[in-house]
Structure 1
């Protein structure tokens, strides 16, 4: 669907303005699709992202600072996210053996089970491959990388 149809207007200040709105709308569209899927497991997108990072650690401990650096949503309050995941039994934390001031964070078996259930559901490949060719995806990746500098 064209952005003009979604916003019910064809009056844009410029193609730059139209592209900006299109990027924001598409981002929200994808976020909404993914949120519906994480809601089924009673976790947020940020919690899902933390769980994926922890799974990628392959049993190595993570720290709050490491998670902050790797999160897609840099504005997230990682400490609160960890607290909620601990309450749900999806992660555990303990004092670091290397530095008693630091806290090591690990994913639990229950956290791994949620990720396994969500792995296929969270893939937006179906949205992309139903609407874009591989060459168009390459072009889109190039343009988005270029946009961010």
Structure 2
């Protein structure tokens, strides 16, 4: 029996339990779809997250700590992710001029170009995933999820 069917047939499940199971199901489904989309570009979801963080920095470099703090998945090995992105020439590692012990990470033009290529596919995926919700419902859901995490 699928988890969705269990949720519908088990009236004895508490509402908080149903909500958390639904959150996990939705997260797993959207994560799987994102993983499949990004796989064709040769990067993982976590690597994509690092690239977006660095793009958001503009021309300003980020250190490993900043990247780690902004990661969606806090359990990611940021150093390993950055090393893989360096190998793919999507990011560069530089030594800070003011503090030679500080390592700074910047996105390369190749990394920016890859994101430009990926962006429409991700936007299409986001629209598809939320197509059954109105703008108002999306705002309400976003508000409730933020409230749940606070």
What's the TM-score once normalised by structure 2's chain length? 0.90
The equivalent of 2:135 in structure 1 is 134
The structural deviation recorded for 1:139 is 1.4
Structure 1 Cα separation of the partners of residues 132 and 3 of structure 2: 17
Shift of 1:127: 2.0
Answering whether residue 77 of structure 2 is matched by residue 77 of structure 1, we say yes
Partner of 1:26: 26
Shift of 1:82: 0.4
* Consecutive unaligned residues in structure 1, runs of 5 or more: none
What's the counterpart of residue 144 of structure 1? 145
- Equivalent position SS for 2:122: coil
Aligned equivalents of 1:76, 1:13: Cα separation in 2: 33
Q: C-alpha distance in 1, partners of 2:40/2:81? A: 18
Q: Kindly state the Cα deviation for residue 148 of structure 1 after the two structures are TM-superposed.
A: 1.1
CA RMSD of aligned residues (A): 1.5
What is aligned with 1:94?
94
Count of residue pairs brought into register by the alignment:
145
How far residue 6 of structure 1 moved from its aligned partner, in angstroms, is 4.8
1:98-149 deviations in whole A, cap 9, x for unaligned?
2111111111111111101100111213321x21001111211121112112
User: Which residue of structure 1 lines up, in the alignment, with residue 57 of structure 2?
Assistant: 57
For 1:15 and 1:135, how far apart are their aligned partners in 2? 23
Distance 2:108 2:16 in 1: 46
What SS does the corresponding residue of 2:60 show, helix, strand or coil? coil
Helix, strand or coil at the partner of 2:145: helix
Q: Separation in 2 of the partners of 1:119 and 1:75? A: 25
Q: Distance in 2 between matches of 1:80 and 1:52?
A: 17
TM-score scaled by structure 1? 0.91
For 2:132 and 2:48, the matched residues in 1 are separated by 26
Structure 2: where are the runs of 5+ without partners? none
Partner of 1:121: 121
Residues in 2 aligned to 1:107 and 1:142: alpha-carbon distance in whole angstroms = 32
